Amino acid sequence: MKTQKQSCCAKRTILEKILIVVVVLLVCILIALFCVFTLHVKNGNRHFTRPVVQNVSCPTPSPLRVKKSTPCMTQSCIKAASQIIDFIDPSVNPCDNFYDFVCGNFLKKPKVSNEITPLSALEAVTLQQFNSLITEPINETLPKSWALQRKYYNTCMNTSAIEENNSESFLEMLKFLGDWPLLHGRFWDERKFDWLNSMVLCRKVGFTFEYFLKIGAKDAANETGTIVLSINPPAVTDLPFHLRNFYVELMANISIELGAPPYLVTHEFNRVLQFEDEIKAAVVDEVQNGQEIITTIDTLENQFPSIPWVHFLTNITMNSNNISSSSWIHFRAGRYLRNLQTLLHRTPKSIQANYIVWKIIEHFRNYLKESVRSLYESFLIHLNPNLAFVNNRHLYCLQKSKFYFPSVTELAYVRTFLKPQSRENIKDMALEIKYRLWKKITANEWLDKNSKIFLLNKVAKIENIIGASDHAFDQNFDQVVEMDGVFENLKFDLDSDNIIEMATKLNAKRADNYFNIINQKSNEVAKEVLEKSPVLYINAFYAEDFNAMIVPASFLQGVIYDLDRPQYMNYGALGSVIGHEYTHSFTTFAEENQTKTAESADKYEGKIQCLLEEYKEYGKHLSEFTTNAKSALEENIADLIGPDLAYEAYQQWKWKNGPEPTLPGLNYTQNQLFWIMSGAFKCYQPKRGFNIKFDQHHGVPSFAVTFSMRNSPFFAADFNCPVGANMNPEKKCRVL
């Protein structure tokens, strides 16, 4: 029998056959992965390669972290990618000119809007957010002070109620002052009138009261370091000569609308205007020839014995505990007061009283009936024909709502628009960036030992205020804004529509708060204001007096920060700003640090020389910014160091949390996107016909971007810029 030859496959066992299939499949998978990897590298490096970042003082990335190759496709990431596309010009090589690369598309925008910088858009958004907190309906969940602010706005807008009242409430309040002579003619009793008493009565009622003397508060340079009372001449305005008759006619017509007899008004107001002219002359004489002194009330009692100073100032301030003969006074009204006393002695009291009432009418005219408001608006147009005056009741009531409730909307804004998670994340970011600055100072080779100790202590003690102080978040809303317990005293009825009653009581309350700071330590007052009244600037800042870094809530939006977008964008934008502000604690090294050695001071001067020279050359043709390199020095140092601090902090964040996905439609690495965001918010687009004046301490925005990046030890590696390229000079300018 002939034996058949077995095939190779037939000779294999079942186990061997399975193993062969598995090996073949593995080989195929490896080949496929290799092809995908090759294609990915090719596409990823279409614009730039991303070498390994060197010399970053961060822990080595964990081998367990795997880079996510799939771009983030969330709505926030798509929005973020679109935002970056609106800024960058990919046709520009970032190694040649990073500012033109990162701002190129922004600079090409039509010059029709007011978007001078990306931060300009935040101002409009913030204003809209801010106003909405005042104009929205009142609900039961609002804190009382916030509800009262909205009630004031609604009452101010209710012109129908004003017409119905027909200014009767206003005229009734005038009776408390001794009434209006013009309404009573020869039957007015002048024996009850006294100019000092009239000021006190106006203060108590809630009318403005500084028509003869301006009583205020001033941080005076006395040995106690306290806020003291300040006495000055009243504020006056010039009236063009050709409008004098028109002004007298205005006073007469408004007075007739309020019930004054027509046959008296013109003659009386000619005399009132003459009296006002003489007051202005006395004010001008004080400004030109007077002396400013810090003295005591006792001294004033000796110089002006006819005025009971302690009694008068106690009634004006409504606080007898703070006023005595030994109290300090900032005084610049010596010549004026002597001239005023002479003037009052020869001027009939009826003219003095009519002058006071007219000034009150001017101040409260927008709370009076429509016929009064219209007459005054016509006068304003004559005063300035180019004003194109429009009676915008909404804007007026908004402005007054903010004036009478100076902290309410700020605190409402912070609590409404700043998410708690955002605040916590930013706190963590700020602490890490501060630590990076602390490490740089620790490792520095040119600072002497005492200077290091001085700076390290200062940096360690920097307070971070994100949105507002912790006090503003932890306490009851009405307690923070100091409105708790005042509602019963003010006796406000939220169902009332009497705007005069509300305005005068709020005026009185505002004056109470103002004078309560008398004799308090000036630094304590400033610190308390900072803690209780959140600022809403569209920028962060370093408060040198308090060694505090403040990031306003209004700044934490748009291009600067978004809780839902990748952190390389937030660290690039907000982190660079925070790093910039922290660096200001170092930039005062030369002036503030009294422990430094001469050698350290000389080395510091040597370190900044490259910066001074480069800015002088760069900014000499840009007149809208300061061309003085010394003047812009602190800001330029902060621009140089700040982004690097944020970059190192982000590398630490990435090591802890793992790499984030990139953005869709953009072939840039996470580090490259960090640098793009670090420069984007500084883009500046001049507008034709737009006159913008910068302060003399900030330099050219394009310099801030290019100078800081080209001298960074990290930037060139992330963009693969060859040594010698504009953005990667062989010799870099380093200060710290």
| Stated pTM of the model | 0.82
Cα–Cα distance between 628 and 146 in angstroms, integer? 46
pLDDT score recorded for residue 233? 97
Q: What pLDDT digit, counting tens, does each position of 356-390 carry? A: 999 999 999 999 999 999 999 988 888 777 665 55
What does the pLDDT read at residue 419? Answer: 94
- In this prediction, residue 232 carries a pLDDT of 96
Segment 405-429 mean pLDDT: 93
Q: Answer for the pair 67, 659: CB distance below 8 angstroms, yes or no.
A: yes
pLDDT at 332: 94
* Cα–Cα distance, 529 to 463 (Å, whole number): 15
Which residue, chain included where needed, has tokens 């505990």?
321
Which distant-in-sequence residues (6+ apart) come within 8 Å of 447 by Cβ?
Answer: 441, 455, 600
Mean per-residue pLDDT, 212-217: 94
pLDDT of 654 strictly over 70: yes
- Percent of the chain surpassing pLDDT 90: 54
pLDDT the model gives residue 610: 87
The answer on pLDDT for 63 being more than 50 is no
pLDDT of residue 96: 95
User: How does pLDDT run across 119-129, given as a tens digit for each residue?
Assistant: 888 888 999 99
How sure is the predictor about 635, in pLDDT bands with cuts at 50, 70 and 90?
A: confident
Residue 341 class from Cβ within 10 Å (0-12 exposed, 13-18 middle, 19+ buried)?
Answer: middle
In which band, very low, low, confident or very high, does the pLDDT at 667 lie, cut at 50, 70 and 90?
very high
Angstrom distance (rounded) from CA 515 to CA 30: 80
Given CA atoms 70, 75, 77, 78 in this order, what sign does their dihedral have?
positive
Classify burial at 170, counting beta carbons within 10 Å of its beta carbon; exposed 0-12, middle 13-18, buried 19 or more: buried
612-623 mean pLDDT: 71
Q: What is the DSSP string of 475-531?
A: S-HHHHTT-TT-HHHHT--TT---HHHHHHHHHHHHHHHHHTTTTSBHHHHHHHHHH
pLDDT computed for residue 78 by the predictor: 93
Mean pLDDT of 228-247: 91
- Per-residue pLDDT at 601: 79
Answer with the residue of higher pLDDT: 14 or 629.
629
For residue 19, is pLDDT > 70?
no
User: Residue 709 carries which side chain, given as an amino acid letter?
Assistant: M
- The whole-number pLDDT of residue 623 equals 52
3-state secondary structure of 226: strand
* pLDDT at position 18: 55
Most confident of 319-328, 555-564, 612-621: 555-564
Q: Which residues 6+ apart lie within 8 Å of 688 measured at CB? A: 111
- Rounded Cα gap, residues 193 and 214, in angstroms: 20
Q: Residue 621: pLDDT above 70? A: no
pLDDT recorded at residue 42: 41
Residue 439 has pLDDT above 50, yes or no: yes
Please report which helix (H) or strand (E) contains residue 552, including its range. strand 548-552
* pLDDT > 60? residue 72: yes
Q: What is the pLDDT of residues 96-115, one digit of tens each?
A: 999 999 999 998 876 655 67
- Min mean pLDDT across 264-268, 674-678, 685-689 is at 685-689
Reduced to 3 states, what is the DSSP secondary structure of residue 262?
helix
Residue 515 has pLDDT above 80, yes or no: yes
Average pLDDT, the chain: 84
Determine how β-strand 293-296 pairs with β-strand 328-331.
antiparallel
- pLDDT confidence of residue 320: 61
**Per-residue pLDDT at 237 exceeds 70:** yes
What integer pLDDT is reported at residue 590 of this predicted model?
A: 57
User: Which amino acid, residue 520?
Assistant: Q
Amino acid 358: pLDDT: 96
pLDDT tens digits along 39-62: 443 443 333 333 333 333 333 333
Rounded Cα gap, residues 663 and 119, in angstroms = 23
User: Average pLDDT for residues 168-194, to the nearest whole number?
Assistant: 90
Which of 700, 266, 268, 317 has the alpha carbon at shortest distance from 514? 317
Of the listed ranges 429-438, 461-470, 491-500, 639-648, the least confidently predicted one is: 491-500
- pLDDT for 537: 83
Q: Which residues, including other chains, have CB under 8 Å from residue 701's CB and lie 6 or more apart?
A: 99, 117, 682, 683, 684
Cβ atoms of residues 677 and 568 within 8 Å: yes
Residue 688 has a pLDDT of 45
Q: What is the pLDDT, as a whole number, of residue 61?
A: 32
In this predicted structure, which of 318-332, 633-647, 682-696, 715-729 has the lowest mean pLDDT? 682-696
